[in-house]
Amino acid sequence: MADEHNIGRMRSVDRKIVSSKSASLVLLSVAILGIASSIMALSETTPPLVLREYVKVSIAGYVYDENGKPLPNATVEVLNTQLKAMSDPNGYYCISNASTGVLEVRALYPNRTTVIKRIVAHGDQPVVLDFCLKNGSGMEYVDLTGGGRTGGGRINTLFGLISLVASASAALASYLSYKGINFRLTTLLATVSIMSYGFIVGSLLAFAALILILASRSDFQKVGR
């Protein structure tokens, strides 16, 4: 009976050690994915895909002719969406709830040139976009993105920095989990690492690692418990 009890305890300890080491490997993956997403967030011109559906921006401005006269009832629309607006008697229009990122906005008016402007919309500031529609027909295309790279914007910078800090937390938590030391700090760092994003997969992996760490608590040394 004693031997069976000891064998059972050894198997239990082995399972906990496996949980701790598995959490370490998972957190290392989280750190790698998080760093990759941080680099992309800091270098891209548009907010990360996961944020674009939640961060909205307004686009507003004036529509006028070549002499600066307002054009009322001009149609301004965001291409490939259902968003559009009509200009008022002063030529002013406003489109709300547009997604952030690279957008193409078109202005239409009877017997005047159609103008399409390609822009980069950031959620940290409204977009001011005026249109000059000249007399005649045809279309004018204006690219205001500078080739699609106009700077990361505040959202990208903030997102990238948060992800970078969370990735560093994941790396440190991975080391502590592998060594089996300081359970409280490891748990805290693993929790912070959930914000690493890592293309969404990283956040899910960080959550799984946290569960593994909690399951292997007794495997950690008493220091910092």
- Rounded to a whole number of angstroms, the CA Rg of the chain reads 27
pLDDT at 128: 94
Cβ-contact 52, 99 below 8 angstroms = yes
Nearest Cα to Cα of residue 213 among 56, 18, 68 = 18
Percent of the chain with pLDDT over 70: 75
pLDDT at 5: 44
pLDDT at 123: 67
In the structure, what pLDDT confidence band is assigned to residue 120 with cuts at 50, 70 and 90?
confident
CATH for 55-143 is 2.60.40.1120
pLDDT at 46: 52
pLDDT digits (tens, 9 = 90+) for 5-59: 444 444 444 444 457 788 889 999 888 888 887 777 666 555 554 455 557 889 9
Map out the domains of the chain as residue ranges: 23-44+153-218, 55-143
Q: Where are the alpha helices (DSSP H) in 44-104?
A: 49-52
pLDDT at 189: 93
pLDDT at 199: 56
H or E element in which residue 219 lies: none
pTM of the model: 0.52
Q: Where are the alpha helices (DSSP H) in the chain?
A: 2-43, 49-52, 153-179, 183-192, 201-215
Of the CA atoms within 13 Å of residue 87, those in its CB half-sphere come to 27
In the structure, what pLDDT confidence band is assigned to residue 154 with cuts at 50, 70 and 90?
low
Q: Which of 91-95, 140-144, 148-152 has the lowest mean pLDDT?
A: 148-152
